[in-house]
Amino acid sequence: MNQSSCSNSKQSVPFHLNRTKRKNHFANASEIRDVKENMNDTTDWISQLPEYIVHHILSFLDSPLDLLRMSVLSKNWFALTASSPKLDFDIVKFTKALQISGKPVHRDKYVSDNFFKYVDYTTSRFSKQNVSVHRFNLATILREHTQFAIIDRCLGVILKKGVHEFEIRNILSAYPLPMYRLPNIVLSVSSLTSLKIGNCELPSSLMVDDVRFKSLERLFLEKVPINEEMIKCLTTSCPLLKYFTVKDCYGFKRFSVYGHQYLQKVWIYYNHTVERIDIEAPNLCHLLLMDWEGEGTPSINLASCKKLKTLSYYEFPSPKSTGLANFSSNFPFIENLFLKLPRNCNNVKLSSPTLRRIVLHSQRDLEKFDLNAPNLHLFVYKDHPHMPPPLVTDSAQSKAQIECHITDDIDILWFHKLRRFLDKKNGFQVLKFHITANFMSVEDLKVIQLPAYELEHVELEVETIDRIPVYLDVVDALLCCCRPRSVTLRSKLPFIIFNKQSRVVKFTYGKLLQQEDQGQTNIQIVVSSCSSKTKRHFSNLNSYLTALPFDRKGQEITFIKE
């Protein structure tokens, strides 16, 4: 073996050799000492992590039990759990933690006593740390008077140190205990950026002391007794307020907010009569009104809110339901409108030159919806009572579009009403029809006496119809109502379109030809595969039937008149 190879072999001596050989392998004793020191330094990597990283890791834990379990990983972590900038005291999460550990969670007193011991102990440890709180959350049920004192003591420690996001909600009091009142110190925390209060009374000194919410951007009040003067006092003390939510609060009939340059969103949920809403905020962009009792729209003054583009109005069934009135004058700049209206409300008349998008949730007939919006770009109709989701629009969409999402059983008369609605000069060019209900077929489709409405494109998607004859009736009714230049069929039930797709395609192809001069019209068929995201083009029905493409993962079929 040459000298070079010997040198290489020495450098690659395995670490698992015995101690004597390892010592001989190093050039001197100092190298051995350095290696030993490095080995000792790596025995507890977790303890070497910076505090902010440990706090970040602990912030992902949802329950107190998980927090305690993680704290035993390292000798330093147990102390750090008390200095975490995010303190979450939620009795629901605490109960789940006890349940996992096998504790008797069926005993309310046992859970409550241990929860407040946990809150008191953690807060006392936190008071010895030289840190402030980024986010604090408290949600519990008060069962004894002594628990009021524990919350007061806890909040006193937290608020004195300063906090950015403060949330105290769902503070329910077991009968006959009174509602918990927040301590006055809350009003002097100038570091607050978010304040959420639920089921609590506001501090007694609210109308006397100077409120110092100089940094507050989000204010959320739920089931809080509050009057007009309190609303005025709170809002004037928050010069940077951006988002203000008042949910199921009581004690006021007028809601007035003035002089807010930064206010962007105001959401008001009310289950009592609100007579008037006055908002002076030049940058307000979204207003939500939810009328739980169906008392009707209050008098509204938003004259200065020239950036108010989105309105959400939800009204629930009540004999007093009146629907929207004076829409154009109350909301002269609205572009996006969300409506949830009961079946028994009066006819809805909307007239607005600025409206671009409407989402309507109602079980009332479409034909009774009187719409005059020459610049309307999207109209979404949903007959189920759930809350409307956030409006998502396709930025590439260039043609006026109507979408119908149907869950109730429908028949040919429903299509007749749809046809009458389309005839109200709304200028729709695209119809998307999504059905998750049953179609009650009728033999005489000629009940629609009006000529078919001209459209650029129709898209039909079904989820629950699992019989071919019923599916064909839906297609027949839709094409009696509309005369499109192209049609796309889509289904989540492979039985309809794929196993029996030739019958569906032949039927649709024939119906489209009936609408045109058969000798002058050709219909191209495009099949889009869901598995490969590829498209296959067929010049006519025969070429399609010869190939009969099939994809078990799903496909959509588009007919294009040429």
Rounded CA gap, 200 and 182, in Å? 7
Arithmetic mean of pLDDT, 311-327? 66
Residue 67 lies in a domain: yes
Confidence (pLDDT) at 76: 60
Region label for 503, one of left (φ > 0), alpha (ψ between -120 and 50) or beta (otherwise): alpha
pLDDT at 519: 61
Which residues are CB-contacts of 538 (< 8 A; sequence separation ≥ 6)?
Answer: 524, 525, 526, 527, 544, 547
Q: What is the pLDDT of residues 261-286, one digit of tens each?
A: 999 999 999 887 888 999 999 999 99
Percentage of residues of the chain with pLDDT beyond 90? 36
Query: What is the separation of C-alpha 199 from the centre of its chain, rounded to a whole number of angstroms?
Result: 23
- Nearest residue to 310 via CA among 335, 332, 276, 273: 335
Is the predicted pLDDT of residue 12 greater than 50, yes or no? Answer: no
- The angle that helices 108-126 and 145-161 make with each other, rounded to 10 degrees, is 30
In a domain, 71, yes or no: yes
Q: Which pair of tokens denotes residue 266?
A: 């105001």
Containing 481, the helix (H) or strand (E) segment is helix 468-481
Q: What is the pLDDT of residue 213?
A: 94
Say if 328 falls within a structural domain: no
- List the one residue out of 309, 474, 323, 348 whose CA is nearest residue 406: 474
Structural domain containing residue 75: 48-84
| pLDDT at residue 11 in the model | 44
Return the H-helix or E-strand segment holding 58.
Answer: helix 51-58
| pLDDT at 49 (0 to 100) | 67
Is 534 part of a structural domain of the chain? no
DSSP string, 165-214: EEEE---EE-TTPPPEE--GGGGG-TT-SEEEEESEEPPTTTTTSPP--S
Alpha carbon distance 199, 173 (integer Å):
9
Question: At which residue do the structure tokens 């006021």 appear?
Answer: 252
At 533 the pLDDT is 74
Q: Is the pLDDT of residue 554 over 80?
A: no
Instruction: Tell me the percentage of the chain whose pLDDT exceeds 70.
Output: 74
The pLDDT of 90-106, averaged and rounded, is 77
Q: Whole-angstrom Cα distance, residue 46 to residue 51?
A: 11
Distances (CA, A) of 274 to 248, 277, 316: 11, 8, 15
Distance from C-alpha of 360 to C-alpha of 323, rounded to nearest angstrom: 12
129/64: higher pLDDT: 129
Q: What is the pLDDT of residue 444?
A: 55
* Termini Cα distance of the chain: 84
> What average pLDDT does range 307-316 have in this prediction?
88
Most confidently modeled range among 278-282, 408-412, 491-495: 278-282
Domains: count for the chain: 1
Q: Give the DSSP H or E segment for 300.
A: strand 299-301
Dist. CA 138–CA 152, nearest whole Å: 12
Cα 160 off chain centre by: 34
Assign residue 71 the CATH number of its domain: 1.20.1280
pLDDT of residue 246: 97
- What are the pLDDT digits (tens) for 178-236? 999 999 999 999 999 999 999 999 999 999 888 889 999 999 999 999 999 999 999 99
Residue 466 lies in a domain: no
- The whole-angstrom separation of Cα 41 and Cα 50 is 15
**What integer pLDDT is reported at residue 26 of this predicted model?**
46
pLDDT at 317 over 80: no
Coil vs helix vs strand at 160: helix
In this prediction, residue 153 carries a pLDDT of 94
In a domain, 74, yes or no: yes
Question: Which of 209-218, 469-478, 509-518 has the highest average model confidence (pLDDT)?
Answer: 209-218
The mean per-residue pLDDT over the stretch 76-87 comes to 61
For the chain, give the mean pLDDT. Answer: 80
pLDDT at residue 463, rounded to an integer: 79
Whether the per-residue pLDDT at 69 is higher than 70: the answer is: no
Reported as a pLDDT band with limits 50, 70 and 90, residue 410 is: confident
Q: What average pLDDT does range 321-340 have in this prediction?
A: 76
- Burial status of residue 358 (CB atoms within 10 A of its CB: 0-12, 13-18, 19 or more): buried
Does the structure show a pLDDT above 70 at 503? yes
Return all residues near 12 (Cβ < 8 A) that are at least 6 apart: none
Q: What is the pLDDT of residues 282-306, one digit of tens each?
A: 999 999 998 887 777 788 898 889 9
Is the pLDDT confidence value at 499 over 90? no
Closest CA relative to residue 298, chosen from 337, 259, 256: 256
Output the pLDDT for position 396.
Answer: 54
pLDDT at 9: 42
Give residue-wise pLDDT tens across range 343-377. 666 667 788 899 999 998 888 778 778 888 889 99
DSSP 107-157: -HHHHHHHHHHHHHHHHHHHTTSS--EEEEEEE-EE-SHHHHHHHHHHHHH
pLDDT band at 130 (very low <50, low <70, confident <90, very high): confident
Tokens matching residue 131: 């840190």
Whether 70 maps to a domain, the answer reads: yes
Instruction: Give pLDDT, residue 224.
Output: 96
The model's pTM is 0.79
E strand intervals along 362-443: 369-372, 378-382, 401-406, 410-411, 430-435, 439-440
Q: Is the pLDDT of residue 498 over 70?
A: no
Average pLDDT value for residue range 491-519: 78
Which residues have C-beta within 8 Å of that of residue 13, sequence separation ≥ 6? 21, 22, 25
3-state secondary structure of 536: strand
What are 67's two structure tokens? 């927090």
DSSP of 203-271: PTTTTTSPP--SS--EEEEES-B--HHHHHHHHHT-TT--EEEEES-BS-SEEEE---SS--EEEEEES
The answer, yes or no, to whether residue 4 has pLDDT greater than 50, is: no
Instruction: Count Cβ neighbours within 10 Å for each residue of 303-335 and write b for 16 or more, e otherwise.
Output: eebeebbbbbbbbbebeebebbeebbebbeebb
Domain assignment present for residue 18? The answer is no
